[in-house]
Structure 1
Amino acid sequence: MTRRWPALWLACFTALGSSAHAAEPAAESAAERAAHPATTPPPPFAWESSEPLIRPPAGADQLFGVKDPSIVFHDNRYHVFFTTAGAGGWGLAYTSFADWKDAPQAPIFMLDKSPIGPGYRAAPQVFYFAPQKLWYLIYQGGDPMYSTTTNVADPRSWTAPKPFYAAVPDNVKDDKGQAGWLDFWIICDERKCHLFFTNDNGSFFRAETSIEQFPRGFSTPVVAMKERREDLFEASNTYRIEGSGQYLTLVEAMRADGRYFRAWLADRLDGEWRPIPGSDMNLFAGASNVKFKGRVWSEGVSHGEMVRAGIDQTLTIDPCKPLQFLYQGLDMVPGKKYEYIELPYRLGLITATGRNAISDLCKR
């Protein structure tokens, strides 16, 4: 998440102790999956992280960090949208590359040069809405906003921002009457599109509209989950798990060793979310289960997105392949003090290693 107001959350971030190494990630074979029937409790998630893949361009002295990535693979290229944090505030940017090894050298386009325009823009999400044959970019401009294009590879083609709501719903306002919603996320099933978001205070909200009405007609949000503020904080992202009849939701939380993600499963997007089995606090990814080939460059695992199996509004992931998650990692200089907007976030990729609760849902 990227706030429009200054804040200091550095107490959440503590340096990790030492470097670690892990074996190369590999997909589990059908025989190996058969040896672990669904009745066998899954082991905890385990991940291996890349080095930083996307960072502020060389010479961009006024940019401090890159955050909040959203990613699709289309026409044999990865298309990545993300937040920039700089001396001028928060904005959106885009980059594209054919292979992960090319990501560090890929040019970055600042989306304030498109009709999206300058001003506060943050926390993007991108998907192709097949019923309209349009790409949608969802982001926070204070309130939830969207732009569209017919060509995701042309960053200048996005339309000017439009709001989803004419006014802020009363039930997402705080005690002072200010909007308390952020990190907007849309996923659709066969009949409805669902808007999820958090409020940095332990509430996970959901609203809905019909496929036919989208992007208009969203209902008054309801609380889908409620926990302690630090245990259900921000940056939610939700996916359909191919072939399983299940949905996965990830929400960022906080603890002493940095930000981390927790995971829940549900049978329906408007159903009850239950903690994913396998580890304490339904841990998905964080400092305790991510290993690095080289230096431990990231303190925790923060706002990110899964690499999806497709591009459309169902946000489908394939449980039969090793999960990959593009995340923002905090690469701080030890002993240096930062204002919130100055935090040196970089984007890296974690890849799941071994069996886990999602790979156990593979039917192939």
Structure 2
Amino acid sequence: MMHAARVQRRTRWAAALAAGTIAVTALAAGGTASAASMSASTADDDATSFRWTTGDPVISPQPDATHDSVAVKDPTVVKVGKRYHVFFTTTPGEGKGWHIAHKSFERWSDADAAPITYLDTTAIGPGYRAAPQVFYFAPQKTWYLIYQDGNAAYSTTQDIDDPTSWSAPKHFYDGMPQIVQDNIGNGFWLDFWNICDDETCYLFSTDDNGHHYRSETSVQDFPHGYTNTVIAKEDPNRFSMFEGDAVYKLEGTDRYLMMIEAFGPDGARMYKAWTADGLDAVGDEWEPLAVTGDDPFARTAFTTFTTQRWTDDFSHGELLRSGRSQELTVDPCQPLQFLFQGYDPAAPSGPGYGDKPYQLGLATADGPNPISAMCADG
């Protein structure tokens, strides 16, 4: 007999599938959930691959009188009450710096027109700031915004509704850990990502050289005391496990999901994914979930565009979470949604990476997949 909790989770997934008829229609109209083109049939626990559906970009560059902006990148998103809060990198062009900006809105259809706050106008200040992650650290009743500034930086606020209230940057590390120095090669130390379980917080990072690092401290000591930096996962091909890492707790299960950006067989960006029983997993303890170009976690070759195709890349982004706390939960009983970056390779652009006209898209998992199959776990 199936446990009652499993029945409840399976029922929730079936209900989400049934809502699929409004999916991308709902996204275009500002809806908050739902997979497009999904069958209303019951979930297939044997689903072995991921498919996505997306429409037009939801957030585009929005320059103002004092800020040039040719791209928006590296989004992080949290929902508080009825409002989404999205933080992202904005670039004024190659060699002109990287900054962080914020938007808040209730419906995704309103995201592009929502007011933008450039956080260099706050105590975070000007200078290189990029690749943010936002979460609420419940033990301190404090919001944290983590980002890179050459080190692993963070700012805090008590009021996420006031984007001007973020504190000046502080750092998790005194400097680059020795293990990173020994392995980074010609890469860059970047894309810091924090997640906690009941007792320990883990700070992950990548190096554009095939290494995924992890440091740890106690929940009690957070944000101080990060040490014991190890290589959690590595690949001899730097482009096979490159950057844009994120780690989540799969709600209602004993599993964690790790996803990392890589280059696909066509040279475009894509995502791979692994799962493990604990955040302290290393090496093969992170089990492959979708790790090849033919079986990716997310790739435009496996994505349906309901409007004109506007990107070849499924690049640096974040899954929409089911909670807002430091545990970073994602509900496998709801269709996954992925806020990601991409750009039109045919659009006018300068020669540098910072010139690429990145925009943010919102994709929804289309049909059963290896994550939705975990809805029956627990």
Give the TM-score normalised by structure 2.
0.84
Residue 129 of structure 2 corresponds to residue 116 of structure 1: no
Alpha-carbon offset, residue 178 of structure 1: 8.5
Residue 245 of structure 2 corresponds to residue 236 of structure 1: yes
Partner of 1:260: 270
Alpha-carbon offset, residue 336 of structure 1: 5.3
For 2:180 and 2:187, locate their aligned partners in 1 and report how far apart those are by CA, in whole Å: 6
For 2:348 and 2:143, locate their aligned partners in 1 and report how far apart those are by CA, in whole Å: 43
For 1:28 and 1:314, locate their aligned partners in 2 and report how far apart those are by CA, in whole Å: 31
For 1:78 and 1:89, locate their aligned partners in 2 and report how far apart those are by CA, in whole Å: 26
Q: 1:59 to 1:357 in 2, by over 3 A?
A: same
SS in 2 for 1:319: coil
Q: Which runs of 5+ in 1 are unaligned?
A: 1-21
Partner of 2:255: 246
Contact residue 173 and residue 179 of structure 1 kept, 8 A: no
Alpha-carbon offset, residue 281 of structure 1: 6.2
Q: Deviations over 1:223-256 (max 9, x none)?
A: 0111111110001001000011100011000132
Higher strand share: 1
Alpha-carbon offset, residue 333 of structure 1: 2.7
Partner of 1:146: 154
Paired residues, number: 337
Q: Which runs of 5+ in 2 are unaligned?
A: 1-23, 26-34
Give the TM-score normalised by structure 1.
0.87
Q: Deviations over 1:277-314 (max 9, x none)?
A: 59766511012111101111012100000000010000
Higher helix share: 2
Cα RMSD of the aligned pairs, angstroms, is 2.3
Q: 1:115 to 1:243 in 2, by over 3 A?
A: same
Aligned partner letter, 2:250: I
Higher relative contact order (CA 8 A, sep 6+): 1
Contact residue 27 and residue 354 of structure 1 kept, 8 A: yes
Partner of 1:210: 218
For 1:32 and 1:285, locate their aligned partners in 2 and report how far apart those are by CA, in whole Å: 23
Residue 318 of structure 2 corresponds to residue 305 of structure 1: yes
Q: Deviations over 1:35-74 (max 9, x none)?
A: x34xx3x231000012111111166782110000000000
Q: Deviations over 1:167-189 (max 9, x none)?
A: 22111115799984110000000
SS in 1 for 2:301: coil
For 1:251 and 1:177, locate their aligned partners in 2 and report how far apart those are by CA, in whole Å: 19
Aligned partner letter, 1:288: A
Q: 1:147 to 1:28 in 2, by over 3 A?
A: farther
For 1:240 and 1:105, locate their aligned partners in 2 and report how far apart those are by CA, in whole Å: 32
- The share of aligned pairs that are identical, in percent, is 46
Aligned partner letter, 1:102: D
Contact residue 76 and residue 98 of structure 1 kept, 8 A: yes
